Chains A and B, each alone.
Chain A
């Protein structure tokens, strides 16, 4: 049984700015990182490998330079790294993206049965959180989203029990394998690559699957397969704050003012 982790290369959003004229992301000179949630998905896959000795494959759809992301995954210990890259995959929305990723997982399944697919909860650039569920739907897998702990997993009995992190509560759910999990950061602490692994991964192979390999019909992928497109991106205007009272002259009075203000805005509960 093998585990698949879906990882996406994203621009380091702390460094992203939006071009005010074209309304597009200024991507020039911005370093790329592995989507932070995906590092936790990858870590969990590697922990399952440590526990059960199963194979782990990391897949990513993206431009050729996304290879760097997969090389990192190799340095961390995955067995296969597959880059889904082709011009015809470009311009995909979440539907087209999950079509390609699901097809890749199916292909991996032909080589060895896939038991668990791990995705991040969402990405930090697209932020839709739709791709994970999209893949699960297309593959007919049970989807367990927002997982912050794997309570129990038995590959033989093909069962998993996880904890989901919901607003203000947790939910424990069980499902038969195969499953797709989307994970949150609380799940684990990602590992740091050892030097020997880094050195080995430097010339390990990242496989590229183009559409010649995948053979997907063009209307289901890329721009053509994407019913959604982004019409405008902009930074919202934010209301400026105000200065209330005089904290130096009258600290007590000012503190009272501040508390009233916060209470009136429902930002503070009594």
Chain B
């Protein structure tokens, strides 16, 4: 079949112009965003791009992801075939046949087989959307069975069908000299030859050529207007992804006349906006989110979708110096986030861990919280006390700082001394004031003494690290507390810090780095692991009476700081057995519900997050749930009480180890 360039060329040019114009319209909206340097450390960026975009690392983490992997790579291969198709449509003499024969034949074989594979994958995808769409594929505004989803699948399927029709007919006509390298098309050719239909092979070839051409052009035009835009944005999005763990939010500079936080779409950074154009609507973030799972109004995917919808509506007006017509924070709507949505996040990071294209959801939520707290002073009532207590007494409960040393009434504890003490044991507010966590502090102190570690405390001088404030968007007060702490640590010559709370851990380690303070922060899980491995800590007995022991990953230790093995190794050493795992564990762990300042807030809608997690633990018939975080401990103990599961207890890993230190 010889194309008709006189007709095809103008169509291609029109489609091309429309495509470029559409892309320009969309991507120029991204430039409305604020600056953000995402061009540093190019080597790592390129590496990430290969791993996550081309390697589809996150995509294949789920079984059905293999299907997408096939479609993605087929698409890459067929890009060449379709490129040739378009060129040949304009200049029929230009074709891949001009390449050396072995290469050309190899390509033909690849195109033929890959097209079949694609067709199969597309049919599977169709079936999935029709017959067994997972709940997480739908939101209030985007459905799994959406016209758009089916249209795109249909486009691809039609391209494959047209491809086989065209080549089958040409082979049947005997006009394809390389038929031997196209086994699938040859089979189609035989089918066409044996069919009694009255249609001539010529017209089949003609029809299929034009079908292929029209679908391809339609696809090109539709692409920038659909969720399929991710074909264009996903790869660069992986390149521009945050190289640090994105849970450490950027600092704000407090100058008079400034705006703090985000309540307008153009106050986001360009990367935030680009993220929203990269979402594939796959729903994985939504499937991982504890807030969504327990019926809160927050759905991380909808947060991203709202930004996109908001930008597409307001952006063009802003470009013409117009005003916003839909608010970013406001009533429920496709382009808005409600305040309750924004306050529901536990900052657990599960969404960011799941997202195949490395979208950063949580920092955007924090930016909106910052606006609410810093510009409007609107936040859930419970937080007023927290904020005042933090500012006045540097701890969440508002207990007098003079009581910071009460936990060690029964022990002889030394203050940290510059040049003498090796480690500061930063107790943290929970370990200092919470009666249950104080037991963990004592257990850990016993362990440190048994291992002969040189350690000391700040005592009454210790201040809260400010974690909750930062996650709640009260950056102004966090900033003050961080500066005070950094100054104190510098003055005291502190370089090495032991912590028992993952929130202190992450804040001292990651957030304070933004203030120029590089500390060697070690969580007790890691420290005990090292002490046991090096033989500095020897247990007197194996801990036997804890029954079936299970370990729960705290988000701020695991996902946010990649500490997974150390606490498990500690439990293995102490109990002689590897701990039990829950269905969702390690980087897929499910939040206890207390992170992101949620510890201090009521949970009004839906099921309680801690109950969801407690039920999961109880399904493993655990006798002892081990945690490595004071918040997780509180949430589990409360949840077990609610479930009246009195036979199951909660222990911190330090308590288990301290148990093993008891003389036989």
User: B377 and A194: CB pair below 8 A?
Assistant: yes
> Given A12-B400, A14-B400, A189-B381 in contact, is the A194-B375 Cβ separation under 8 Å?
yes
B384: contacting residue among A15, A33, A190, A194, CB under 8 A: A190
Which residues does chain A contribute within 8 Å of B377, judged by CB atoms?
191-194
Q: Which of A190, A191, A194, A199 contacts B256 (CB 8 A)?
A: A199
Chain B residues lying within 8 Å of A33, measured Cβ to Cβ, are: 392
**Shortest distance from the beta carbon of A251 to any chain B beta carbon, whole Å:** 15
Task: List residues of A (154-206) whose CB comes within 8 Å of B's CBs.
Answer: 189-196, 198-200
Give 1 or 0 for each of B359-385: 1 = CB within 8 Å of chain A CB.
000000000000001111101010010
Digit string of B469-483 for contact with A (CB within 8 Å is 1, else 0)?
Answer: 000000010000000
Query: A253: CB under 8 A from chain B?
Result: no
B402 at the interface (CB under 8 A from A): yes
Query: Is B476 touching A198 in the complex (CB atoms < 8 A)?
Result: yes
- Number of contact residues on B: which range applies? 20 to 34
Bits for B239-258, please: 1 = Cβ < 8 Å to A, else 0. Answer: 00000000000000011111
Whether A31 is near chain B, meaning CB under 8 Å from some CB there, is yes
Cβ < 8 Å to B, chain A residues 1-55 = 12, 14-15, 31, 33
Given contacts A31-B392, A189-B381, contact A15 B254 (CB under 8 A): no
The interface residues of chain A lying within 8 Å CB-to-CB of B392 are: 12, 31, 33
A194 adjacent to B376 (CB under 8 Å): yes
Interface assignment of B401: CB less than 8 Å from any CB of chain A: yes
The distance in angstroms between the C-alpha atoms of A192 and B254, with both chains bound, is 17
Does any Cβ of A come within 8 Å of B277's Cβ? no
What 1/0 mask marks residues of chain B from 498 to 531 whose CB sits below 8 Å from any chain A CB? 0000000000000000000000000000000000
List of B residues within 8 angstroms of A200 by Cβ: 256
Q: Is B260 an interface residue (CB 8 A)?
A: yes
Q: Which residues of B contact A192 (CB under 8 A)?
A: 373, 377, 379, 384, 387-388
Chain A hits for B260, CB < 8 A? 195-196
CB distance from A194 to the nearest CB of B (A): 5
Minimum Cβ distance to chain B for residue A190 (Å): 7
Assembly CA distance A190 to B398 (angstroms): 17
Min CB distance, A13 to chain B, in Å?
10
Query: Contact: B401 with A195, CB < 8 Å?
Result: no
Nearest-neighbor residue (CB-CB) of A33 within chain B = B392
A196 touches B258 (CB 8 A): yes
Complex formed: what's the CA distance from A31 to B257 in Å?
Answer: 30
User: Which residues of chain B from 246 to 298 have any CB-CB distance to chain A below 8 Å in the complex?
Assistant: 254-258, 260
Report chain B residues within 8 Å CB of A198: 476
Which of the listed residues A190, A191, A195, A196 has the most CB atoms from chain B within 10 Å of its own CB?
A: A195
Residue of B nearest to A39 (CB): B388
Query: Which residues of B393-416 are within 8 A (CB) of A?
Result: 393, 398-402
By a CB distance below 8 angstroms, the chain B residues around A194 are 374-377
**A191 vs B387: C-alpha distance when bound (angstroms):** 11
Residues of A near B373 (CB, < 8 A) are 192
B375 touches A195 (CB 8 A): yes
Would B384 and A196 count as touching, CB distance under 8 A? no
Query: Within the complex, what minimum Cβ distance (angstroms) separates B476 from chain A?
Result: 5
Residues on B close to A: CB < 8 A?
254-258, 260, 373-377, 379, 381, 384, 387-388, 392-393, 398-402, 476
Q: Give 9 new A-B contacts, CB below 8 A, not counting A15-B401, A192-B373.
A: A12-B400, A31-B393, A190-B384, A191-B377, A192-B387, A193-B377, A195-B260, A196-B260, A198-B476
* 8 A-B pairs with C-beta separation under 8 A: A15-B401, A33-B392, A192-B377, A194-B377, A195-B254, A195-B375, A196-B257, A196-B260
